[in-house]
Structure 1
Amino acid sequence: MVKYDTSKFHGVFVALNASYDANGELNTEKLKELALWYHSLGVKGLYVCGSTGEGMLLTAEERKASVKAVCEAVGGKLVILCHVGAPSTRQAVELAKHAESCGVDAVSAVPCVFYIHSEDAIANHWNTITEAVDLPFFIYNIPQLTGYNLSRGLFERMLQNEKIAGIKNSNEVAHQIMQFKALGGENFIVLNGPDEQYLAGRLMGADGGIGGTYGPMPELYMKLEEYICAGEIEKARRLQEKILFFIYRLCSFPSMYGANKAIIKLRSGIDIGQPRLPFLPVSSEDPKVVELKNDIEKAIAALD
């Protein structure tokens, strides 16, 4: 049984891109501007320092500075989830404690990076993080990057911890969402990870989603969520199809994160720099970027 009120964790959460200056150094002022832009658009919340936020490419101090900046900008205005996953449990605990001190609404973590661990080790890793803070904890299941797909057995073990409030499930097998929701119960939050299947995830029982392509086009995902809540499934299906082809185009650039940042710059006027190497840069002056940005804005303008 989850000990927290989880009602605020429903809906669309933008996975926040990292922000750098021209020299590739962390730019917290631009990060604040970006967070405020999302607030102005009506986004429900932000997921900070996750995969899209290049969390594993930031130093611990940069990650701390990022979450501090976001909380200063939109704390109390948006729901803030902070990813604290790290190579070591010690570092993850340190990041979780700092995030709690900044005022985040929840923390989240992948099971491990680089090393392959037993399920006992993964359980101990997550439980140790939850013991360090008094915050809801969201498991982050992303097997395509970690090499581990959360099993039913370990999931049921983790549900014995009352601080485990939900899961961000980025596994591309949609029916796993239904399993997690059924086992977790009504107050347990399941957030869809694969943007290509937001509609499928919601129909399978997800309570909302966190996504890396929400950033350049959050209005489309918010409208998709609105259609789903209203039971207008055919409208939702058509919009999901449109989003799907935008995602394909974003993924056609040298890096999706670079394309995200380029389109965000064109749409918001906020320059959050290029992604950190080894992710490749994408220019906002690339004609294909400009064309995609224009097509996204046309789709937004056509929403009913």
Structure 2
Amino acid sequence: MKFTIKDFKGVIPAALSIFDKDENLDIKATKDFIKFLLEFDIKGLYLTGSTGEGFLMNSEERIESVKAVMEVAGDKVPVVVHVGDIGTKKTIDLGKAAKEAGATAISSVPPFYWHFNSKQIFNYYKDLAEAVDLPMIIYNVPLAGMMSAEMIKDLSQIENIQGVKYTNTDIYQIPAIKESCGEDFMVYGGADELASSNLLIGVDGIVGSFYNLIPDLFIRIDEAIKNKEVERAYKLQKDAVRIISYIVEGGNMVAGIKAVLREAGINAGYARKPFINFYEEDQKRLAKGLVDLADKYKMENIRVIDMLRGKS
């Protein structure tokens, strides 16, 4: 294998999955969009997670999307495939398909909906780790139910479980997780609004939704932290939060990101229902508002925003 989980560091987009207007998976557009992301200095890709609308796809579509991405990116950056689902069997099948496609590692949210207890969640991860011979990143996120630091420590003792994606605002737990699980246990910050804070407290990488839209801004944040330019990182993070808040306030994050990218001339496709897409005038309005925001705060050298400016 070309990459190991230790190569999965830095700024990592939780990549969009690309669907056409009729909600069909668009393989050509998927490959083109991944090529666009690879034009930036990203350090990996995280596929078919929440941002990738993985739960709105059937297993065949998830596998097909992963294979398409691997054809483009597999020899360029490490790729982690989110295989999580409610059922253990389905998750294992997706994990085996990810391995066959050449993924560097797999990841999964805990099983949700039925309020599974800690033993059931532990067994879910244990079964998956034993069935799929790849490193695994567990995923702590409020949407699926948060696991305790103690549970993460227990899971870290299982062979193949080698990291956690931590998407929450109580990031004070991250250093404690790193300390209790050991330095070799990879920790990824998943809250885009806290990217600079996550990097300051020592995460191995940041994985997020808005790295599809403004990856260059987050790459500069990462570089500023590495260079100990904390004040610069803080200013860049404020710009990132302004952009995030503007899109999120539109009521539909995934559809909003895709609409702005489309308006900039990048085919990011459309979100699947029940998400509500932006079309025509609403798409133009959303994009114009983003440019106005960027102009107000003198944001420069953000490629997608500069592309939008060129169209105005």
TM-score range, shorter chain: over 0.9
Taking structure 1 as reference, are residues 5 and 82 closer, same or farther at Cα in structure 2, changes over 3 Å only?
closer
In structure 1, what is the Cα distance between the partners aligned to 2:137 and 2:60?
Answer: 22
In structure 2, what is the Cα distance between the partners aligned to 1:136 and 1:77?
Answer: 19
> Is contact 1:84–1:109 with CA below 8 Å preserved after alignment?
yes
Shift of 1:157: 1.2
Q: In the alignment, which residue of structure 2 is the partner of 1:258?
A: 255
In structure 1, what is the Cα distance between the partners aligned to 2:88 and 2:294?
Answer: 41
TM-score of the aligned structures, taking structure 1 as reference length:
0.93
Q: In the alignment, which residue of structure 2 is the partner of 1:278?
A: 274
> Is contact 1:263–1:293 with CA below 8 Å preserved after alignment?
no
In structure 1, what is the Cα distance between the partners aligned to 2:185 and 2:285?
Answer: 44
Q: In the alignment, which residue of structure 2 is the partner of 1:136?
A: 135
Q: In the alignment, which residue of structure 2 is the partner of 1:249?
A: 246
Counterpart secondary structure, 1:30: helix
Q: In the alignment, which residue of structure 2 is the partner of 1:93?
A: 92
Q: In the alignment, which residue of structure 1 is the partner of 2:215?
A: 218
Shift of 1:178: 1.4
Q: Spell out, residue by residue over 1:258-287, the C-alpha distance to the aligned partner (whole angstroms, 9 max, x if none).
A: 1100122233x3323221111111236422
Taking structure 1 as reference, are residues 296 and 60 closer, same or farther at Cα in structure 2, changes over 3 Å only?
farther
Q: Which amino acid aligns with 1:280?
A: I
In structure 1, what is the Cα distance between the partners aligned to 2:252 and 2:113?
Answer: 22
Counterpart secondary structure, 1:209: strand
Counterpart secondary structure, 1:286: helix
Shift of 1:219: 0.3
How do residues 46-85 of structure 1 correspond to structure 2 at under 5 angstroms?
46-85=45-84
Report the aligned-residue RMSD. 1.9
> Is contact 1:141–1:149 with CA below 8 Å preserved after alignment?
yes
Shift of 1:294: 6.9
Total equivalences in the alignment: 297
Taking structure 1 as reference, are residues 300 and 219 closer, same or farther at Cα in structure 2, changes over 3 Å only?
farther
In structure 1, what is the Cα distance between the partners aligned to 2:179 and 2:202?
Answer: 8
Q: Spell out, residue by residue over 1:97-141, the C-alpha distance to the aligned partner (whole angstroms, 9 max, x if none).
A: 000000011100001121111111111111111112221100010
> Is contact 2:9–2:44 with CA below 8 Å preserved after alignment?
no
Counterpart secondary structure, 1:12: strand
Identity in percent: 33
Q: In the alignment, which residue of structure 1 is the partner of 2:299?
A: 299
How do residues 97-246 of structure 1 correspond to structure 2 at under 5 angstroms?
97-143=96-142, 145-146=143-144, 148-246=145-243
In structure 1, what is the Cα distance between the partners aligned to 2:184 and 2:193?
Answer: 25
Shift of 1:209: 0.6
In structure 1, what is the Cα distance between the partners aligned to 2:291 and 2:56?
Answer: 27
> Is contact 2:11–2:219 with CA below 8 Å preserved after alignment?
yes
> Is contact 1:71–1:102 with CA below 8 Å preserved after alignment?
yes
In structure 2, what is the Cα distance between the partners aligned to 1:181 and 1:19?
Answer: 35
Q: In the alignment, which residue of structure 2 is the partner of 1:39?
A: 38
In structure 2, what is the Cα distance between the partners aligned to 1:214 and 1:296?
Answer: 17
> Is contact 1:27–1:272 with CA below 8 Å preserved after alignment?
no
Shift of 1:5: 5.2
- Which deviates more, 291-300 or 240-249? 291-300
Q: Spell out, residue by residue over 1:42-65, the C-alpha distance to the aligned partner (whole angstroms, 9 max, x if none).
A: 211111000000011111111011
> Is contact 2:105–2:134 with CA below 8 Å preserved after alignment?
yes
> Is contact 2:47–2:80 with CA below 8 Å preserved after alignment?
yes
Shift of 1:302: 7.4
> Is contact 1:254–1:282 with CA below 8 Å preserved after alignment?
no
> Is contact 1:28–1:69 with CA below 8 Å preserved after alignment?
yes
> Is contact 2:129–2:159 with CA below 8 Å preserved after alignment?
no
Q: Spell out, residue by residue over 1:70-103, the C-alpha distance to the aligned partner (whole angstroms, 9 max, x if none).
A: 0011111121110000110000000000000000
Q: Spell out, residue by residue over 1:187-213, the C-alpha distance to the aligned partner (whole angstroms, 9 max, x if none).
A: 211110111111111222211211011
| Structure 2: runs of 5+ lacking an equivalent | 304-312
> Is contact 2:260–2:286 with CA below 8 Å preserved after alignment?
no
In structure 2, what is the Cα distance between the partners aligned to 1:113 and 1:16?
Answer: 22
